[in-house]
Each structure stands twice: as C-alpha cells, then as structure tokens.
Structure 1
Amino acid sequence: MTKKSKIKVGEVNTFIVSWLKDYSAKSKTKGFVIGISGGVDSAVTSTLCAQTGLPTWCIEMPIHQDSSQVSRGREHIEQLKKKFPNVHHAEADLTTVFETFKKVVPGSDDSTKLDLSLANTRARLRMSTLYYFAGIHGLLVAGTGNRVEDFGIGFFTKYGDGGVDLSPIADLMKSDVYALGTYLDIPKSIQNAAPTDGLFGDSRTDEEQIGASYDELEWAMTEFENNKKEEDYSGREREVFVIYKRLNTINQHKMNPIPVCLIPKKIKY
C-alpha cells in the first residue's frame, strides 16, 4: 500500500504561496502564525507561509515534550530563519499552565478517558496561545492538518489543532506533504521521523495510536470514496479499511459544520 505522490510539487508550492498571500491581503492581516511541532506538516506549512514574504511567526509550545520533537522543531526554525528574514520565532513553555490546569479540575477513575482528555487539553492550550500571538501581531493562524487527518479520519483535536483561520495543506495527502517537504528541503531529521501528534508527552507515533500507517490510510480513503465495502477485501486490507471506516464515522462531528437548531418561522416570529 505504499503511496507515491503524483502532485507537481513546484506548481503546487507556487499555488499555495499565492493563495496564502491573497487570503492575507483580503483579510487585511499582516501574516501568519504556526505552531511548530517537529513534524513534517508544520515544517511544510511554515515554509509555505515564509515564502509569502509576510511576517511568519513560528511558535514552540512544549508541554513535557519529548526532546527529539523539540530538537527537530528548533532545527527547522533555525534553517527557516536563515533563509527568510520575515520569519520570527518565540517559545511559550506551557508546562506550568498545563500542570496548573490539572490541579484545578477533577480527575477520573477511567485512565484512558483521562489521558485522552488531557492530551486534547494540551492541543487546546496551544490553540489559545497561537491566537494570542495572532491577536497581538495581526496574524492568521495557519493550520497544519493534511487531507487524511482533516477529512478522512478526523485525527485532530476539536478546538485544538483544528481551531485555525486557514488550512494551506488540507487538500494534500500525507504523501503529497512529504513530497513538498523534500522539494522545500526541510531537515532530513523531520522527513525521516515517524509522525506523532506529541500530545502524550512521549514518543508514541500516529500509527501506534491509529493502528494503520498514512500510506494505508490514503489507500483506504481512496477506496472508501469510491464506495467500496469492507466485504471487498480480506486480510490486512480489510483490517485497514475497517479502521478507516470506523474513524471516519465516529469523527464526523469534527469534520462537519456545527449543527444549528433552526427554529420554524411559525414559532419564531
């Protein structure tokens, strides 16, 4: 199920950079702010934003972060600053904020639910921090989600890393993001690192959490969108298809607009 990107990387790069510049101009904002995680999605997104020539703020927001993630993120930021004078960098260590939050809310006997809730809390603290920087500098918060995460399996935190102003790479598969990363010469340490959301304070990978690799999920997403059924497959293919279908189903609340209770006119007016 190995997926190879078919995008025309140079043209896609130019298109996204132009789109970012146009959107910023129309919204009358000054530039962009991106949370840097040490992963390929944030590295590619920040490099695309930097190419606009507009102020681009790269924000580190560690919360008990794995040291390898921190070092990869800093390597990328330093490389970006050398290439683009419009790139700025700030660190907001949210570890103390996170620990304070844990002290003022009740715990839970369900350790699985507690761990997940706290992981999502990390993402939401980071979202608030990015909007703080956006507010004081007149910037847009650029999302770093790709198509598989944002519209396939909903692998993001609602009002966390899903809380953004615009999504430059959300129409690209993960393989496309890697192709852009190679084209943009992001650090090899990032290109070669196993994808991880970094929300649990350890080195667990996305594949370990999801149960399937991004190559497998891209395959399943394509098959699912072609109206295939799990009965059409066997073995590992069927297993991956079931994983994709389950996550796509339970995470629709993330991917669809917020439901609004529309009051009938006859009882409203």
Structure 2
Amino acid sequence: MSWAQVIVLSIVQGLTEFLPVSSSGHLRIVSELFWGEDAGASFTAVIQLGTEAAVLVFFARTIWEILRGWFKGVFNPEERGQDYRMGWMVIIGTIPVGLIGFFGRDLIREGLRNLWITATVLVLFSFVFILAERYGKKERTMEDMGIKDALIMGFWQCLSLIPGVSRSGATISGGLFLNIDREVATKFSFLLAIPAVVASGLFSLPDAFDPQAGQAATGPMLLVGTIITFVLGYISIAWLMRFVANHSFAWFAAYRIPAGLLVMVLLLLGVLQPY
C-alpha cells in the first residue's frame, strides 16, 4: 500500500465507522475507485482498532462502571445490579458475531467483498432503516433491556460482516424493532461492538502485513492509520449521539440509496470492477 492510500482510507474509516453507511463498504469502493485494488479486510480490521479506541475513551465512564459492576457481581451475588447485567449482555451479545466471524472468515475476506454485493446491500438495507424507524416504538430504556434483547441485537450485528450493511445500522435497527429508544440502541450498539472489533483487529494484525487477500501495509502505516481513525472516530461518535437525539436514522437512507445506485452504474460502465 502507498502512504496516500493509507491516509485516505483511514480518513474514510474514521468518518464512516459509526455512521450507518458501512465503513467497510466505503473502504471497498474508494479502494477500487482510486487505486483499482481492494485494500483488504485485514487492513480494515486493524485500523478499526483506532475507532474502537475512540469508543473506549468516549464511553470510558460507562465502560468502567460496567466492568466494575460485573466483577463485583461475579464474586458477590449481592452486588448484582444493572451494571453486572449489562456486562453479561455485552458478553452474550458478542457471541454470534464472534462465531460467525471466525468460521466464516474466508468468505468475509474474499467472497463477500464483491462490489455488486456492496452496492446492492447499500440500497436494500436502507429500507430496513426506514421500516425500523417507522414501526419501532422507541419506548424501552436501558433498564428495560435483557439478555434476550442483547442476543437478538448480537445476531443483527452479524449482518455487518457483509460490506454495505453497517455495524451500527444493523444493531440499531435490531434495537428499534425491539422498541428500544433510539439513543439507547445507539449506545448499546457501540458497547456491543467493542469486543468483536478489538478481537477482529488483533486477530487480523499478522495478516495485514502479509495478507492472503488484499494489500500489505507496514507497521508505521498501520499505526498512522489507527491514529487517524481514532481522532475522526471520536468526532463521529460525538456528532452521531447528538444527531440521534432528534433525528431519524431514515435520513441516512437518502445517502445510501443514491450511493449504491451510483456504484452499480460505475460497475456497468466498467469504471469499477467487482473484485
């Protein structure tokens, strides 16, 4: 990979990771459009560590309270309150994407990165946003959530393994269908992503230097990319949390649908190649 490619793709990753527009889909499209080659899922997974570091910093107090409450509850049944329960919700909600991500890693790294799939999913999943916003009652709070809700949202998170879906878009949509408040669903989707993304990034780190599919990056490149995604990721989280307080996620469909259709046109014209 070139330095220009690393910087541009890291900017794209940082700006889109937390928005329901699919950062992996955008990285795939930008890589093909400007460099004619897929940077690869391993590179994406590693620089996502920067955006997850942004989540850790932004929600540091919440995460600390959950960790403290969970450890207290494990050793003392009398300390099993909301934070203890939230800890188990994050752990159990992470299991589906962990299993599917591990056993389906070859398909995720290669087969699902076809740009026809990305473009189609960008369009079709936009209607999921619209339906979730329309039919979700958005009345349940974090205190109303349980293990079943976490597990269901965890299965929704699995859809994000397909470039074009969006991790936040999938899990938040799942939460809205469960009648969970939009802000609550958004916050939980960020918490739910932490174990999966960190594990994926660390697991993919060796492959990013010598990938089976995609392009190789040097250590300094991955470090700079991770720093860029951290800074822009933090800004994106702050903006999105303010946005969801008063705006529907359906607004993002107004961007996703034209973007997906444009990619289809470029594929038909031969400007972009599926692989």
Give the TM-score normalised by the residue count of structure 1. Answer: 0.24
Greater RCO between the two (CA within 8 Å, min separation 6)? 2
Q: Look at both structures and tell me which one has the larger radius of gyration over its CA atoms.
A: 1
User: Higher strand share goes to which structure?
Assistant: 1
